[in-house]
Amino acid sequence: MISGWCNYFLPILSAVLLILCFPKPDVGWLAWVALVPLLRFLFGPRTWRLAFGTAYAAGCLFYGGLLYWIYFTCRAGGVSPLFSFLAWAALSALLALDWGIFGAGVFFFKQELFVLLLRLQSTWALFWRGVAFAAIPFFLAALWTSLEFIKARFLWRFPWELLGYSQWRYPLILQMASVTGVYGLTFLIVWINAAVTVISFGLSGSRKVWAAVGGAPLVCLILCWMYGFAKLSGAPSDFGPGGVSVAILQPNIFQYQKWTPSFEKEIQDTLKALSVEAAGKGAKLVVWPESSVPGLFEDPPLHRWVKEVVRRTHTDHLIGAVTRISGKTQNAAFLVLSRSPGSVIHWAAKRQLVPFGEYVPFKFILERWIPVLNELGAISPGGSPGLIPSRAGTLGVSICYESIFPHLASGLVRKGADVLVNLTNDGWYLDTAGPYQHFSMNVLRAVENRRFLLRSANTGISAVIDPWGRISSQTALGQKSVLSFSLPRENVPEASLYTRFGDWFGYFCILACVSYFLLNMKWT
């Protein structure tokens, strides 16, 4: 009885280990074994309901620990403790559904495996045992990856810290993302975990079968390391002269002073001083963070101030600001030219909005209890891709939350973006793990598309990330600074396979799962 109850701690252990994989504390290598306790438990239940319920509970624990900062963000935004807790708990419960579905999927895979083994009575039994045992880890990896992909593209649209993001600090293994996107990393991690789990049971009693189970994912892991080594060995460390000087501003304005009239002059002085400093370093393009203008971009006093900053610095500025130019309140980026101060050549509005930060889902039910955290009220989405021609090439602009969607960044590069730019205001998250988690996902966008990524964050973390996921320079959280970088025009790699073919690997995983179930229906 004691050992039986102790088994229920295995899913809890997996949830805790996975929390530790992400910022903070960011121990990413744990991901390669973190799912083993959960999988060992899921090979035991006699009903799919128990498998679903236990995995779902572990998922709630994982997302609750990963997204703890939701509570503090809501509280700082004026939401009551009760509804701050409910928002945190409800989001965790929603996102955990894929864990529950995965748990039920493991149960059915296990059932079919044992039925198949009972049927293997021929002289080829050992061979088919190897095939059966080797197939189970593969299909479990496909199932987990499919659920992540569906969640990111079609359902909740909150793909925060997918499993593959845990490897953002490891450039060797990270390079495979240029082929498969982040979903390939997720697949490989689950495949290794599932293979270790199957081998640990020793159900077959045959070393040859164990070799069949562990051989394929191990070979794939080695090939990915070799691919990463080859790509990094060929990646230039010095891009040479002739680049375009770019400066990234991090003004470090406290979130709840940004829209307070009494702080407007102080904010303007800070941004002007940083812009002058950037111009003094020779910047040809100055990048401001999201919604950095303390009001509407087109308000006459603020627009005159922007024109004065541009005139004083004699350089172009990419400015994050809120606007009502289109008749709707939008979160946007404006390129203001130095040759005609105040003249906006291009602008792009944010397309993927933050739930509860910029709009309230199920507004007719929830708006009474949970307000929009943005001081300017509900935001409307933009309708066109964020492509802005500049001196540094065509900029593919994402604003804040948009940077966690792989398909949005690849779409920008596919349409001609030479450089990816992320304007964000992570001041919402205060001094929690939120800014670090958000930053980590940007590294994958650079690798996936083989493009430089410039990130300007109000309170941090601002950075320059090269096409191989190496952080050329970055700021600390809560630091006021100017980050200067010479953006190369040469030696930049061609668009990646992921950019050209998009989320092919996610669809492949769905196809693999569907094929398995269709074939299983045919056999039975």
* Together in a domain, 149 and 254: no
Residue 119: per-residue pLDDT: 54
**pLDDT tens across 451-462, in order?**
999 999 999 899
Using the predicted structure, report yes or no on whether residue 120 has a pLDDT greater than 60: no
The length of the chain, given as a count of residues: 524
| Coil/strand/helix, residue 285 | strand
- Report, as an integer, the average pLDDT of 511-516: 89
Specify if 497 maps to a domain: no
Amino acid at 266: E
Residues near 171 by beta carbon (within 8 Å), at least 6 away in sequence: 228, 232, 468, 469, 470
Residue 78: per-residue pLDDT: 78
Specify if 365 maps to a domain: yes
Confidence of residue 73 (pLDDT cuts 50, 70, 90): confident
* Together in a domain, 73 and 182: yes
The residues with which 485 forms a beta bridge, in sequence order, are 246
- pTM beyond 0.95: no
Q: Which two tokens stand for residue 204?
A: 């077959």
- Report, as an integer, the average pLDDT of 280-287: 94
Specify if 108 maps to a domain: yes
Confidence of residue 436 (pLDDT cuts 50, 70, 90): very high
Contact present, 450 and 495 (Cβ < 8 Å) = yes
* Together in a domain, 148 and 277: no
Using the predicted structure, report yes or no on whether residue 115 has a pLDDT greater than 60: no
Residues near 457 by beta carbon (within 8 Å), at least 6 away in sequence: 250, 289, 290, 424, 425, 426, 435, 439, 475
Cα–Cα dist 120/521, whole Å: 18
Residue 235: per-residue pLDDT: 84
| Coil/strand/helix, residue 219 | helix
Contact present, 333 and 346 (Cβ < 8 Å) = no
Helix axes 125-153, 406-414, angle to 10 degrees: 80
Residue 60: per-residue pLDDT: 97
- Report, as an integer, the average pLDDT of 424-445: 93
Specify if 498 maps to a domain: no
User: 181: domain range?
Assistant: 2-234+503-523
Cα–Cα dist 65/438, whole Å: 15
* Together in a domain, 517 and 470: no
Nearest by Cα to 272 from 290, 286, 258: 286
Specify if 292 maps to a domain: yes
Residue 1: per-residue pLDDT: 37
Contact present, 459 and 73 (Cβ < 8 Å) = no
* Together in a domain, 322 and 441: yes
Cα–Cα dist 388/411, whole Å: 14
Using the predicted structure, report yes or no on whether residue 357 has a pLDDT greater than 70: no
* Together in a domain, 136 and 264: no
Residue 43: per-residue pLDDT: 85
User: What is the pairing mode between strands 463-465 and 471-474?
Assistant: antiparallel
* Together in a domain, 374 and 455: yes
Using the predicted structure, report yes or no on whether residue 24 has a pLDDT greater than 80: yes
**pLDDT tens across 360-369, in order?**
655 545 555 5
Specify if 280 maps to a domain: yes
Specify if 373 maps to a domain: yes
Confidence of residue 126 (pLDDT cuts 50, 70, 90): low
- Report, as an integer, the average pLDDT of 334-338: 91
Cα–Cα dist 425/25, whole Å: 22
**pLDDT tens across 496-508, in order?**
999 999 999 999 9
Percent of the chain with pLDDT over 70: 86
Specify if 316 maps to a domain: yes
Residue 459: per-residue pLDDT: 93
Percent of the chain with pLDDT over 90: 57
CATH number for the domain spanning 394: value is 3.60.110.10
Mean pLDDT of the chain, nearest integer: 86
Task: Give the sheet arrangement for strand 387-390, strand by strand.
Answer: 387-390, 393-399, 419-424, 453-457, 463-465, 471-474
Nearest by Cα to 457 from 291, 305, 277, 263: 291
* Together in a domain, 203 and 308: no
| Number of domains, the chain | 2
**pLDDT tens across 166-214, in order?**
999 999 999 999 999 999 999 999 999 999 988 887 654 566 666 777 7
**pLDDT tens across 212-254, in order?**
777 889 999 999 999 999 999 988 877 666 689 999 999 999 8
* Together in a domain, 393 and 436: yes
* Together in a domain, 64 and 211: yes
Residues belonging to the active site: 290, 350, 400
* Together in a domain, 436 and 512: no
Residue 125: per-residue pLDDT: 53
* Together in a domain, 298 and 157: no
